[in-house]
Amino acid sequence: MSAAPTRIYLDGNSLGPPAPGVKERLASFVTDEWDASLIGGWMGHGWWDMPTKLGDRLGALVGAAPGQVIVAESTTVVLYKLLVAALKLRPGRSWIVTEEGNFPTDRHIIDGIASQFGAEVEAVPADQIISSICDGTAVVCLTHINYRSGFRLDMAAITAAAHAKGAVVLWDLSHSTGAMDLYLDRDQVDLAVGCTYKFVNGGPGAPAFAYVAERHISTLAQPITGWIGHVDPFSMSEVFEPDPTIRRMLSGTPSVLGMVALEAALDTWDGVDLVALRARSVELTERFIALADERLVPLGFELVSPRNPDDRGSQVALRHEHAYGIIQAAIAAGVVGDYREPQLCRFGFAPKYNTIAEVDEAVDRIVSLVERGDHLLAAYAVKKKVT
Ligand X SMILES: *Cc1c(COP(=O)(O)O)cnc(C)c1O
Indicate if 187 belongs to the active site. Answer: no
Which is catalytic among the residues 11, 106, 172, 190?
172
Residue 197 annotated as catalytic? yes
Q: Is 184 helix (H, G, I), strand (E, B) or coil?
A: coil
146 binds ligand X (CB under 6 A): no
Alpha carbon distance 167, 17 (integer Å): 38
* Cβ at position 268, least distance to ligand X in Å: 20
Among 174, 176, 177, 315, binds ligand X (CB under 6 A): 174
Q: Does 94 bind ligand X (CB under 6 A)?
A: no
Binding mask 263-302 for ligand X (x = CB under 6 A): ----------------------------------------
Judged by CB under 6 A, the residue of 52, 68, 75, 159 near ligand X is 75
Give 169's strand partners. Answer: 140
Position among 16, 33, 55, 74 found at the interface with ligand X (CB under 6 A):
74
On the CB side of 15, how many CA atoms lie within 13 Å of its CA?
9
- Shortest reach from residue 95's CB to ligand X, in Å: 21
- Known catalytic residue at 273: no
Q: What is the DSSP code string of 324-376?
A: HHHHHHHHHTTEE-EEETTTEEEEE--TTT--HHHHHHHHHHHHHHHHHTGGG
* Interacting residues with ligand X between 193 and 222 (CB under 6 A): 195
Closest separation between CB of residue 143 and ligand X, Å?
4
Among candidates 233, 236, 182, 235, which has minimal Cα distance to 69?
Answer: 182
CB atoms within 10 A of CB 341: 9
Q: Active-site residue 172, yes or no?
A: yes
Q: Which is nearer to ligand X, 173 or 366 (CB)?
A: 173
Distance, CA of 171 to CA of 260 (rounded, Å) = 26
Q: Interface with ligand X includes 149 (CB under 6 A)? A: no
Least CB distance to ligand X at residue 103 (A)? 3
Whole-number Cα distances in Å, 325 to 282, 302, 328, 344, 348: 28, 16, 5, 11, 18
Using alpha carbons, select from 272, 283, 298, 297 the residue that is nearest to residue 359.
Answer: 283
> Which of 76, 132, 225, 343 lies at the binding interface for ligand X (CB under 6 A)?
76
Q: What is the DSSP string of 2-38?
A: -SPPPPEE--TTTSPPPPTTHHHHHHHIIIIIIIHHG
Segment near ligand X (CB under 6 A); pick from 115-123, 167-175, 258-266, 308-316:
167-175
User: Pairing mode, if any, of strands 209-212 and 344-348?
Assistant: unpaired
Instruction: State in angstroms the smallest separation of the CB of 131 from ligand X.
Output: 23
User: Which of 304/366 has CB closer to ligand X?
Assistant: 304
Residue 346 falls in the annotated catalytic set: yes
Is the C-alpha dihedral spanning 49, 54, 57, 58 positive or negative?
A: negative
* Binding positions for ligand X, rule: CB under 6 A: 74-76, 103, 105-106, 143, 147, 172, 174-175, 195
* Catalytic site positions: 103, 172, 197-198, 346
